[in-house]
Amino acid sequence: MKLNKKLIGIVLISLLLSSCSTSTKHNVSEQVVEPLEKPYVAIISKGWQHQFWQSVKMGAFKAAKELNIELTFEGPEGDFAVDKQLDMLATAIDKKPAAIIIAASDSKAVIPKLEEAQKLNIPIIAFDSGVDSNIPITSVATDNFNAAGLVADKIAQAIGNAGEVGILCHDNFSRTGIDRRDGFSKRMEEQYPNITVVEVQYSGGDHDLSKKMVIEMMQNHPNIKAIFATNEGTAIGLIQAVVSEALPNKIVIAGFDSGKVQKDAIRTGVMLGAVTQNPYMIGYYAVVAASKSINGEEVSKSIDTGYEWYDANNIDDESINKMLYD
């Protein structure tokens, strides 16, 4: 009888321990760890219509995925839409993001809005086109001044270091427009005294307007030997004008950025060549910089993403091809 009581006691204790163990395991398995909220970062570009911006966007979203960042990317319809971009910036500030990344259409007009963001302790990262202020904690961009100087060197060589040349610029108020215009002109002035920049026009990167302005420039200066277009949109208009006027091989043209139209024109000999930036990495590094600023990490004051000259001789080189886009 005593033995039976002992056996019953052991069984009851075993069952009790088993029940406690099962209950503990059950409670642990039901615990849910709430994920940390993703920091929200707003990107405002100068546009979206050119493939350049699409490549920037791809790089930005790649970095955002890797760094667990919620990202939005928007821009106005063209480089001249300064007011529209300012409205977009105001809306972004109202949302109080963890950081704002901006390619300023107008490097001065954007400053008052950035001052508002600064008062709210929203870090600002400039990309592609800088800001005439020390508000941005960094600028992720190409050295546009020297890149345009390289284009000047190539054109000068192609026209025998003498003659009249023109510039078709996307604008005269963004840092990209100003630096590319001035970098080209300054190089010609300092290194090639027998070359004269006879005309500069601004088309906002619009293809049709660019084409019209090129035709007028050639009519105004019948002895013009070369024209430099400062971005993808102006380059497309330049190519269209030269082809429509049946002038390939009669005038030297060079561009900036990439895209299918420029690449095809270079391959067929219509265009001498162009400088390509690295738009994918511009977008990527801009988001990396934003992430570092959000986390309190140090960020370099400027991040140079590089540039390369490409023409029919090197367009298919691996080092060049990875920087190009269609």
Looking at residue 112, which CATH number applies to its domain? 3.40.50.2300
How far, in Å, CA of 129 to CA of 320, rounded?
22
Domain count, the chain: 2
Q: Is the pLDDT of residue 8 over 90?
A: no
Which stretch of 16-25, 118-127, 156-165, 249-258 has the lowest confidence by average pLDDT? 16-25
Between 93 and 25, name the one with better pLDDT.
93
- Verify that 172 and 233 share a domain, yes or no: yes
Backbone φ, ψ for residue 25 (5° rounding) = -60, -40
Written in H, E and C, the secondary structure of 15-49 is HHHHHHHHHHHHHHHHCCCCCCCCCEEEEECCCCC
Q: pLDDT grade, residue 207 (50/70/90)?
A: very high
- Verify that 270 and 295 share a domain, yes or no: no
Gyration radius of the chain's alpha carbons: 29
Give pLDDT, residue 249.
77
Residue 322 lies in a domain: no
Pairing of strands 308-311, 273-276: antiparallel
Q: pLDDT grade, residue 17 (50/70/90)?
A: very low
- Verify that 236 and 130 share a domain, yes or no: no
Residue 302 lies in a domain: yes
Rounded mean pLDDT, 162-182: 96
- Verify that 162 and 208 share a domain, yes or no: yes
Give pLDDT, residue 279.
93
Q: Partners of 319 in the beta sheet?
A: none
Q: Is the pLDDT of residue 14 over 50?
A: no
Residue 161 lies in a domain: yes
Q: Convert the pLDDT of each residue in 257-267 to its tens digit.
A: 999 999 999 99
Extract the tokens encoding 174: 């963004």
- Verify that 272 and 155 share a domain, yes or no: yes
* Domain housing 198: 144-276
- Verify that 125 and 186 share a domain, yes or no: no
- Verify that 158 and 246 share a domain, yes or no: yes
Backbone φ, ψ for residue 182 (5° rounding) = -70, -35
Q: Convert the pLDDT of each residue in 42-95 to its tens digit.
A: 999 998 877 889 999 999 999 999 999 999 999 998 777 899 999 999 999 999
Give pLDDT, residue 3.
41
Across the chain, mean pLDDT equals 89
Q: Convert the pLDDT of each residue in 299-324 to its tens digit.
A: 999 999 999 999 999 999 999 998 99
- Asked whether the beta carbons of 136 and 159 are under 8 A apart, the reply is no
Give pLDDT, residue 119.
97
Give pLDDT, residue 36.
60
Q: Where are the beta strands (DSSP E) in the chain?
A: 40-44, 70-74, 99-102, 124-127, 138-141, 163-169, 195-202, 224-229, 252-256, 273-276, 302-304, 308-311
Backbone φ, ψ for residue 100 (5° rounding) = -125, 135
Residue 33 lies in a domain: no
Q: Convert the pLDDT of each residue in 219-231 to its tens digit.
A: 999 999 999 999 9
- Verify that 226 and 284 share a domain, yes or no: no
Residue 316 lies in a domain: no
Rounded mean pLDDT, 273-284: 96
Residue 321 lies in a domain: no
Q: pLDDT grade, residue 128 (50/70/90)?
A: very high
Which stretch of 13-22, 82-91, 187-196, 257-266 has the lowest confidence by average pLDDT? 13-22
Residue 224 lies in a domain: yes
Give pLDDT, residue 73.
97
- Verify that 193 and 262 share a domain, yes or no: yes
Q: Is the pLDDT of residue 135 over 90?
A: yes
Q: pLDDT grade, residue 16 (50/70/90)?
A: very low
Residue with tokens 């100068």: 46
How far, in Å, CA of 111 to CA of 89, rounded?
11
Residue 206 lies in a domain: yes
- Verify that 186 and 296 share a domain, yes or no: no
- The answer to whether the pTM exceeds 0.75 is yes
How far, in Å, CA of 140 to CA of 217, rounded?
34
- Verify that 135 and 190 share a domain, yes or no: no
- Verify that 154 and 258 share a domain, yes or no: yes
